[in-house]
Chains A and B, each alone.
Chain A
Amino acid sequence: MTVALSEFAPLLPEIFILTMACAVLIIDLYLTDKNRHISYLLALATMAGAGIVTYIVMPTTPEIVLAGTFISDQMSAVLKMFVYLITAGVLVYSRQYLVERDLFKGEFYVLVLFAVLGMMVMISGHNMLSIYLGLELLSLCLYALVALQRDSSTAVEAAMKYFVLGALASGMLLYGMSMIYGASGSLDLMEIAEHIKGVQEKDLVLLLGVVFIIVGLAFKLGAVPFHMWVPDVYHGAPTAITLFISTAPKIAGFAIIIRLMADGMGDLQHYWQDFLIVIAVLSLIIGNIIAIAQTNLKRMLAYSTIAHMGFLLLGIIAGTAEGYSAAMFYTIAYAIMGLGAFGMIILLSRAGFEADRLEDFKGLNDRSPWYAFIMLIIMFSMAGVPPALGFWAKLAVLESVVNVGLTWLAIIAVVMSIVGAFYYIRLIKLMYFDKAEDTALIEGTLDLKAILSANGIAILALGIFPGALLAICTNVML
């Protein structure tokens, strides 16, 4: 048995990113601080190049290569495209912020590129081993990125918490995987699915494995009751890195839930559905209610992320192709909205000042009507007010839950969305009806202002014309 070279063809995007990450690592050594922006441009070019390569190798039917460890299908191609897009957005948003805080270093770009590689491995994982390794690759980069501002005690504390809890979650996930392996005798998701199909009576080993895997995944997603690290890490990390952590990895997280729960253990749905219902309901309630009490915008958005993860899980709970595509739509919509929200904090921040308190947004309309309007769109979208993108995302998820007969779950989600609307709209009130305390000019560089405007317009435009994105998400799940 040998590996044919042609088996590596579907891996071209991964190979491209890995090569470019190593190239940036080497090239950056020879750059002076004055030329550091070459690393930045290279990282951006990598995202664009990876997009092209992924488009070229996009298959029409799923291809499983390398002894079943790698799958390339339409879902993986679409999700990877969005990871590139979101990461490119993060890079543009964060440039000025990093320069002002002495974090504009080659390591940042190298670690981001490796993190993107980790996400791609997760998205294309078809074997528990490769999914786990992708997750570890991503997590390791994120721990290091959070700690990159090493003279900031909050950042180091956040990194420490993230690392310890992340390691615990990995342990849980691995333990669950070992149980599934013990029961089915395989790491390959397709073989696991076949084994589960053949099991007639209740198998406790499978059940225990499912429980541990769900705990590990919930930890990584930041769903209640495994959410403790989310606010501390989002708050403690430099905003540019919070921006990254809170957006692109969620797409990869969604992908591994689909691969593990739907593809691998789809026939165990009656086992995991109840667990996920408890986790989703708790996330919706605790995320939305505790967010009201926050005075720091980064913490508030962290709790809102927890609530959004609850919504994402609703789509998975439905367990139908419709539910999965709704969850995918929700994840992508959330990543675009989160990018804008944290990007706004970056725009208002300047050297030595973090605009991460709610008061910093007071009277934003007087300072700049345009950016206040963009923030208004983002907040409306997160709250789920039409015609913003978030409305369609929530609608799609709720529809899929109602269609499988879990109407009470949809009612809880709607009630909690209304509770959540309070703190989003409070921010809008601060922007439009309060007097500005801070009257400094909004200084952001042109690229930052351009991408923020584009991001806001994209949320509005996708909200008015959601058909294309919805169609993509529906098609890849069929």
Chain B
Amino acid sequence: MSAELILFYLFSTILVVAGFMVITIRNPVKAALFLVLAFIACAGVWILLEAEFLAITLVLVYVGAVMVLFLFVVMMLDINLAPLKEGFTRYLPLGAIIALVIVIEISIVVGPERFGLEQIPAPEPAAADFSNTKELGRLLYVQYVYPFELAAVILLVAIVAAIALTLRPKRHTKFIKIEDQLDVRRNDRVRMVNMPAEKKKSPRRQKQG
């Protein structure tokens, strides 16, 4: 067994176990952390596939930014998990049977008889000066420029939709109108009252005052 193969099995095992833990563990913070582990193991597999740029991006973007943000959200929200788990045991048998059937079907179809090394030989390893990033850029900005732009439009729609659905302008917010503040003159706020000086303070008056 070559070192590459050992590494592949190591990373894949971690990936599968971590993925399984994400959906089974009760604590959402731990689930998010297992997702981080899954991403890192996945990045390892991608490096073995000679997709270095994507692997580094996965770690930087997903692990570094997205998941940290996600962890913050999970910590801020007080999610009551009990209602989410309701009916879990009731639907488990049916779900398990369907999942099992699909897994069996897929493993029959996507087995080594169809996608093994004899049918689809491994590609030649790229030369040392091969730039993965450059190749990716060429694909994204030349060959797939149209889908790439569409993905950008989808992101724009997501922003518009999120704002349209959550922003409630002015109804519950209190804010200061600066121009009103600047327009205020002394007479609007202060009133001079002439009062004769008092000599003696009675407790009763103090209460009223």
Partners in one complex: yes
Docked complex Cα distance between A182 and B115 (Å) = 9
B154 cross-chain contacts in A, Cβ below 8 A: 133, 136-137, 140
Docked complex Cα distance between A94 and B118 (Å) = 60
B145 cross-chain contacts in A, Cβ below 8 A: 3, 66
Check A69 for interface membership: any CB of B closer than 8 A.
yes
Whether B160 lies near A111 (C-beta < 8 A) is: yes
| B-contacting residues, A83-130, CB 8 Å | 105, 107, 110-111, 114, 117, 121, 127, 129-130
> How many residues of chain B are within 8 Å of chain A by beta carbon?
26
Check A147 for interface membership: any CB of B closer than 8 A.
yes
Whether B157 lies near A141 (C-beta < 8 A) is: yes
CB distance from B147 to the nearest CB of A (A): 5
The stretch that binds A, out of B2-10, B62-70, B103-111, is: B103-111
Which of B109, B150, B154 has the most C-beta atoms of chain A within 10 angstroms of its own C-beta? B150
- Select which of A1, A18, A144 is within 8 A of B143 by beta carbon: A1
Docked complex Cα distance between A85 and B165 (Å) = 28
Which of B142, B145, B146 has the most C-beta atoms of chain A within 10 angstroms of its own C-beta? B146
Which of B138, B145, B157 has the most C-beta atoms of chain A within 10 angstroms of its own C-beta? B157
Whether B153 lies near A18 (C-beta < 8 A) is: yes
- Select which of B142, B151, B157, B165 is within 8 A of A148 by beta carbon: B165
- Select which of B108, B138, B150, B161 is within 8 A of A144 by beta carbon: B161
Whether B157 lies near A140 (C-beta < 8 A) is: yes
Check B164 for interface membership: any CB of A closer than 8 A.
yes
> What secondary structure prevails in chain A residues at the interface with B?
helix
Docked complex Cα distance between A136 and B106 (Å) = 25
Which of A25, A69, A136, A143 has the most C-beta atoms of chain B within 10 angstroms of its own C-beta? A69
CB distance from B197 to the nearest CB of A (A): 56
Whether B142 lies near A205 (C-beta < 8 A) is: no
List A residues at the B interface (Cβ < 8 Å): 1-3, 11, 18, 22, 25, 66-67, 69-70, 105, 107, 110-111, 114, 117, 121, 127, 129-130, 133-134, 136-137, 140-141, 143-144, 147-148, 150, 179, 182, 204-205, 207-208
A-B residue pairs, 7 tightest by C-beta? A144-B161, A107-B164, A133-B150, A69-B146, A67-B143, A66-B146, A204-B109
